[in-house]
Structure 1
């Protein structure tokens, strides 16, 4: 029922990151385009209803939080504490809505990745292992954010238990009970079954918010990591284009003209793959850039508010302190890894120009690698005779020149053209957060004085 494309080569070993299962559970994953059978049509309808229910659930919970935020707006400490969860909810409400409204684009992006970007372990084992290692970072961030939402959901229950132990039963009904986040309800949510249902409703909304965050970020990292892997494969192919063309020509007992045709053919194939990578990065930018812009804007405020709570919080419960510490660590790491992946695409795309220029296009001599006899350490190193290649023709050099000119213009992902996803953008966001933090601290000092 769900859209799960498979590559033509080695389809059994292919799988999306494990975190993506949460996108399937909350209704954000696209369905298969085919409609066959009554059961599948019924499933598609139920899945769509569930997806919009999740969006509505998160929106309602944000409304409860926003009402409390408006009510306590004058108190800086309470406002910043509640603003952390409210802005996080807004960020992922936008993510859920964006994924739901762009199902076709999401489906096309998944299919294009599987067809053009995925790297099999049988074809490029070294590059594939490097990409798999880079994905472990997203597993760590997912674990951090899972711990965060677990604390938000369970710590109020611990507080409720302590409240029931220390409070008389006749007084307990009138006491305001804890919820996962600070909220203001249009009804009395502290009584009996209303409290239980409201708690479960808002807690599950928080789970949907956090799981959508790390699931979509893991998918974005999956795309960028393997795109960078494809760039590295192109670097290797460019470095070997002249030796491989010469070897293929000599193996077929060809002439210098055959070498020229073979080298141009290989360069054309590299250029074609290069264009495929450009187009895929452009598709990623078109799909993810609205979310990245909202992420940049809200993360700056979130980091500022959480840091303010950690620094200025007085008589804070140890559980709340740990909760805010995990919060700021997960927010910083999430933002850093996104910018780091964007910076990797920039660096790998610019590195193409260096490899193209150094591909031995000027022909000449390449000295083969040295061979040493491992049996005798004192034996002299035997040097192989140098290999003399044919000179590349004008058609090869003109195409190479155009490719170098294109590679000198960076390939990047932007946040709706407002900011480039890079490490310099990350440092700018941290600088902005520190400026907002200093402003909040000055307001707090004025309020205390």
Structure 2
């Protein structure tokens, strides 16, 4: 991958005087180097990501009811759906990339502009250079897609745990009541077995909430710097890919389709990340709402230790968890919309500069 990136950089430096080539080459390179930065961050925080991956195996993650199993299945299917969309959109972009070098007017063209330390425009060398470049570029492309899928999976794991925890808080009385059969509703609060069961279950939920907050804070810390690079790169790519789309719309339908799909992939994967980060912010505050609807007003606060734990959870849930990019941008749908608008503004400036 380093050799491939070096060949692309070499080509970029040697053709810097042509604006169209410069934009096309930089657009391809940015997404690759950004993915490498994100991957290095994941390797550096390997233990944190291992813990996040195993978080749903915690003993406090309660999926003992059909409703909670349905929530887990819902998020599993949703994660699988977005995985297919990301790989499908990326593969369609690659398919157009395969076709374009074979039908354009350039002799001995490769899938991506890269300078090699030898003349490959010979009947023997060209097929070897084309196949080698194709394999290297496909490896890099699926490497980028896999990084995007891994990141969205970690976010959706957290969302699934938040959804289950919200259901646990809302139905904590019903869950505790199942272990105290034969006790009337009027005497339930005064039953010693119920009080012990409720207090034990509440303690487990408080521990799960504390653990979930820690996992979210750890992910926010590891995501901060890589996502700053991702946001800056995505803004640049939206502008440059949009420029390529407009420049190729009348010249080549294949290159137009390639640029359009590339633009669509970049916008979609950033939209997905911002959407799930925004959803984590919303779900973290819903813990407090679920706690308020948990039936505490039925006299449960008279049980020693309950009032203190409820207040502790409410105070923690009162402050939304916001995932940021370098502490400068909130990863949310509103920030994504602002980035798209800024990219469009930069695109209009770029088109005017080319026209002049």
TM-score in terms of structure 1 length: 0.70
Q: Does 1:88 align with 2:23?
A: no
Contact 2:62/2:168 (<8 A) preserved: no
Contact 1:149/1:206 (<8 A) preserved: no
Query: Which residue of structure 2 lines up, in the alignment, with residue 20 of structure 1?
Result: none
List runs of 5+ in structure 1 lacking aligned partners.
Answer: 1-57, 164-174, 364-388
Query: Which residue of structure 1 lines up, in the alignment, with residue 82 of structure 2?
Result: 137
Q: Does 1:402 align with 2:312?
A: yes
Give 1:101 shift: 5.2
In the alignment, the residues of structure 1 paired with residue 127 and residue 257 of structure 2 have an alpha-carbon distance, to the nearest angstrom, of 25
In the alignment, the residues of structure 2 paired with residue 296 and residue 188 of structure 1 have an alpha-carbon distance, to the nearest angstrom, of 38
Structure with more relative contact order (C-alpha pairs < 8 Å, separation 6 or more): 2
Residue 238 (structure 1) aligned to one of 155, 164, 169: 169
After alignment, is 406-415 or 142-151 more displaced?
406-415
In the alignment, the residues of structure 1 paired with residue 295 and residue 55 of structure 2 have an alpha-carbon distance, to the nearest angstrom, of 33
Partner deviation per Cα, 1:258-297 (whole Å, 9 max, x = no partner):
2444333222111111112112223333444433222111
User: 1:256 aligns to what SS in structure 2?
Assistant: coil
Query: Which residue of structure 1 lines up, in the alignment, with residue 257 of structure 2?
Result: 322
Residue 335 (structure 1) aligned to one of 255, 259, 270: 270
After alignment, is 111-120 or 80-89 more displaced?
111-120
Inter-CA distance 264–218: structure 2 relative to 1 (3 Å threshold): same
Partner deviation per Cα, 1:71-115 (whole Å, 9 max, x = no partner):
332332222222221212222333444455555554444344555
Query: Which residue of structure 1 lines up, in the alignment, with residue 101 of structure 2?
Result: 156
Contact 2:32/2:144 (<8 A) preserved: no
In the alignment, the residues of structure 1 paired with residue 352 and residue 46 of structure 2 have an alpha-carbon distance, to the nearest angstrom, of 45
Query: Which residue of structure 2 lines up, in the alignment, with residue 30 of structure 1?
Result: none
Inter-CA distance 119–332: structure 2 relative to 1 (3 Å threshold): farther
List runs of 5+ in structure 2 lacking aligned partners.
Answer: none
Contact 1:281/1:412 (<8 A) preserved: no
Contact 2:52/2:154 (<8 A) preserved: no
Contact 2:235/2:343 (<8 A) preserved: yes
Query: Which residue of structure 2 lines up, in the alignment, with residue 293 of structure 1?
Result: 228
Query: Which residue of structure 2 lines up, in the alignment, with residue 346 of structure 1?
Result: 281
Give 1:443 shift: 1.0
User: 2:278 aligns to what SS in structure 1?
Assistant: helix
In the alignment, the residues of structure 1 paired with residue 61 and residue 144 of structure 2 have an alpha-carbon distance, to the nearest angstrom, of 23
In the alignment, the residues of structure 2 paired with residue 394 and residue 179 of structure 1 have an alpha-carbon distance, to the nearest angstrom, of 73
Give 1:117 shift: 9.5
Query: Which residue of structure 1 lines up, in the alignment, with residue 146 of structure 2?
Result: 215
In the alignment, the residues of structure 2 paired with residue 116 and residue 202 of structure 1 have an alpha-carbon distance, to the nearest angstrom, of 48
User: 1:362 aligns to what SS in structure 2?
Assistant: helix
CA RMSD of aligned residues (A): 2.9
Q: Does 1:73 align with 2:23?
A: no
User: 2:150 aligns to what SS in structure 1?
Assistant: helix
In the alignment, the residues of structure 2 paired with residue 390 and residue 412 of structure 1 have an alpha-carbon distance, to the nearest angstrom, of 32
In the alignment, the residues of structure 2 paired with residue 119 and residue 208 of structure 1 have an alpha-carbon distance, to the nearest angstrom, of 40
Contact 1:349/1:407 (<8 A) preserved: yes
After alignment, is 353-362 or 235-244 more displaced?
235-244
In the alignment, the residues of structure 1 paired with residue 116 and residue 288 of structure 2 have an alpha-carbon distance, to the nearest angstrom, of 59
Query: Which residue of structure 1 lines up, in the alignment, with residue 345 of structure 2?
Result: 435
In the alignment, the residues of structure 2 paired with residue 184 and residue 61 of structure 1 have an alpha-carbon distance, to the nearest angstrom, of 9
Give 1:224 shift: 1.9
In the alignment, the residues of structure 1 paired with residue 132 and residue 229 of structure 2 have an alpha-carbon distance, to the nearest angstrom, of 25
Query: Which residue of structure 1 lines up, in the alignment, with residue 327 of structure 2?
Result: 417
User: 1:178 aligns to what SS in structure 2?
Assistant: coil
